[in-house]
Amino acid sequence: MNAQGSEVARLLRQIELEYQAAHHALYGLSAGSSKHEFITKKMERMGALHQELTTLVGVDEATPLFTAVLEDA
């Protein structure tokens, strides 16, 4: 895999991990405002990762990749 492909794979994995953490916080046993802040930070991080992905592969490819990661997580 080339360097760009490795970076794309890394970004997709990080998006998956951020989504899983936010999902767990939403449906897990945590509660209160810290839960909301945590989920907000994870969603903001996912947005930044999507932007990085868009820079690498373009919006036409990044958005379907991003969506596929969320559907599979």
pTM of the model: 0.85
pLDDT of residue 36: 85
d(CA 28, CA 2): 38
Contacts of 15 (CB under 8 A, 6+ apart): 46, 49, 50, 53, 66, 69, 70
Number of domains in the chain: 1
Provide the residue range defining the domain that includes 42.
Answer: 3-72
Give the tens place of pLDDT for each residue, 4-57. 889 999 999 999 999 999 988 888 776 666 788 899 999 999 999 999 999 999
Give the tens place of pLDDT for each residue, 47-60. 999 999 999 999 99
